[in-house]
């Protein structure tokens, strides 16, 4: 389809800054703009884009929980089955946890064959200089006419793969960055898309699978972290732990060593994955003794997955199996481009 033809898209709103209003009672921002009010902020006359509207939540994304992702996936499934000739879906969402939500949708909805586009704003659309209207219009444009078949974040004129994105700025319009590689496209006079993306494919049969185990913990290592921290996490009933190590995935192995806790967790059926606190690069547990020690007691490497994607992926994997060999096998498969490390096998379409 070209931009000269009418395209049908669905806009699903979930709240976030883009829909926020100032509450006089609390003297703070909260979600409040209805979907029609959001669309009223756009240029009059959408021309050749027909927008079907669905209002799902009025939620600050800091309050989002894994069950909200599952409900969102269910809403996407419903509209994709009900609406004929749907070209794509736009989801307006808060920026704070957009990378988690969009990664979750990437895993729960595979082979969709059309763009699922997340967007939001740094400034509420109710404010005249908001970035919300531009981001929303860009997202609609990508959903309608972009040659994409995957879940992405469209923000500040850039198109990012959902599972390779981090929120890196609190206030600037360019809130998100892709981490190794670069964005998969930009919004210019035309939609400019780069090689390596998943393209539209209407012949695909979408796979909807919302099983998640939300008992996955994300732990950031810091100097002086108590060695019994992992034991306490296990006592809270967690089934998986993502450990953000230093540099290439290094952890303390001398004073306040974490290796004993990792071994204990794995012996008790908990799965431990080591990621890096660095935005760029990858966890390579084979370089230093302090990384190799974690590997030798059974921890897995996240390679160059973001910690957000690693957490969501482990939750998704554990929603399917707790078999140790199968969990390790699935964590070492790149399902939706979440890992760019070339040593990993791509997902089988069988």
* 25-37 exposure pattern, b = at least 16 Cβ within 10 A, e = fewer: eeeebbbebebee
CATH code of the domain made up of 216-331: 3.40.50.40
* Contact (Cβ atoms closer than 8 angstroms) between residue 253 and residue 277: no
Q: How many other CB atoms are there within 10 angstroms of residue 123's CB atom?
A: 17
The number of CA neighbours under 13 Å toward the Cβ of 31 is 25
For residues 60 and 341, the model is more confident at 60
49 three-class SS: strand
Domain range annotation of the chain: 7-208, 216-331
Instruction: Kindly state the DSSP code that residue 258 receives in the 8-state scheme.
Output: S
Strands of 93-181 (E only): list them.
109-110, 116-119, 151-155, 158-161, 165-167, 176-178
Rounded-to-integer distance, Cα 113 and Cα 134, Å:
25
114 three-class SS: coil
* Contact (Cβ atoms closer than 8 angstroms) between residue 176 and residue 165: yes
Tell me, yes or no, if the two domains 7-208 and 216-331 fold the same way. yes
- Interval 202-210 mean pLDDT: 95
In 3D space, the residue among 132, 110, 108, 130 whose CA is nearest the CA of residue 119 turns out to be 132
| Percent of the chain whose predicted confidence (pLDDT) is above 70 | 96
Catalytic residue among 13, 14, 17, 259: 17
Per-residue confidence band for 180, with pLDDT thresholds at 50, 70 and 90: confident
User: Does pLDDT of 285 surpass 50?
Assistant: yes
Burial (CB count within 10 angstroms: exposed 0-12, middle 13-18, buried 19+), residue 93: buried
In total, the chain counts a number of residues equal to 350
* Contact (Cβ atoms closer than 8 angstroms) between residue 67 and residue 36: no
Q: Which two tokens stand for residue 190?
A: 């035309």
Element (H, E) at 316: helix 307-318
Residues 6 or more apart whose CB falls under 8 angstroms from that of 129 comprise: 123
In 3D space, the residue among 29, 56, 51, 48 whose CA is nearest the CA of residue 40 turns out to be 51
- pLDDT, one tens digit per residue, over 241-274 is 999 999 999 999 999 999 999 999 999 999 999 9
Pick the most confident of 4-8, 29-33, 309-313: 309-313
Per-residue confidence band for 130, with pLDDT thresholds at 50, 70 and 90: very high
β-strand partners of 250 = 246
- Interval 57-75 mean pLDDT: 97
**Residue 165 among the catalytic residues:** no
Burial (CB count within 10 angstroms: exposed 0-12, middle 13-18, buried 19+), residue 350: exposed
In 3D space, the residue among 53, 21, 41, 3 whose CA is nearest the CA of residue 136 turns out to be 41
Listed in sequence order, the DSSP H helices in 22-177 are 35-40, 66-82, 98-108, 132-145
Residue appearing with tokens 């306040």: 256
Choosing among 3.90.550.10, 1.20.1050.10, 3.40.50.1170, 3.10.20.30, the CATH entry for 7-208 is: 3.40.50.1170
Rounded-to-integer distance, Cα 86 and Cα 104, Å:
22
């Amino acid at each position: 389809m070209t931009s000269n033809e009418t395209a049908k898209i669905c806009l699903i709103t979930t709240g976030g800054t883009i829909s926020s209003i100032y509450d006089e009672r609390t003297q703070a921002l909260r979600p409040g703009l209805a979907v029609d009010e959001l669309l009223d902020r756009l240029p009059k006359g959408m021309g050749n884009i027909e927008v079907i509207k669905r209002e799902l939540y009025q939620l600050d994304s800091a309050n989002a929980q894994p069950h909200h992702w599952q409900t969102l996936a269910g809403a996407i499934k419903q509209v994709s089955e009900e609406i004929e000739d749907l070209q794509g879906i736009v989801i307006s969402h808060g920026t704070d946890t957009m990378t988690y939500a969009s990664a979750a949708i990437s895993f729960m909805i595979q082979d969709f064959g059309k763009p699922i586009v997340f967007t939001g704003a740094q400034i509420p659309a109710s404010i005249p200089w908001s970035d919300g209207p531009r981001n929303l219009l860009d997202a609609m444009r990508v959903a309608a006419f972009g040659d994409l078949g995957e879940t992405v974040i469209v923000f500040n004129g850039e198109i990012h793969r959902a599972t390779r994105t981090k929120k890196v700025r609190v206030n600037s319009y360019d809130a998100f960055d892709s981490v190794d590689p670069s964005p998969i496209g930009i919004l210019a006079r035309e939609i400019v898309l780069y090689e390596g993306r998943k393209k539209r494919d209407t012949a695909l049969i979408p796979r909807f699978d919302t099983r998640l185990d939300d008992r996955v913990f994300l732990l950031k290592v810091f100097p002086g972290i108590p060695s019994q921290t992992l034991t306490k996490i296990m006592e809270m009933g967690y089934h998986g732990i993502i450990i953000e190590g230093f540099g290439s995935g290094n952890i303390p192995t001398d004073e306040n060593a974490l290796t004993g806790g990792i071994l204990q967790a794995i012996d008790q059926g908990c799965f431990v994955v080591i990621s890096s606190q660095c935005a760029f690069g990858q966890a390579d547990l084979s370089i230093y003794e302090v990384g190799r020690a974690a590997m030798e007691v059974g921890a897995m490497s996240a390679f160059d997955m973001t910690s957000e994607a690693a957490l969501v992926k482990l939750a998704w994997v554990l929603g399917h199996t707790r078999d140790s060999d199968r969990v390790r096998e699935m964590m070492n498969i790149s399902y939706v481009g979440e890992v760019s490390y070339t040593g990993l096998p791509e997902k089988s379409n069988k």
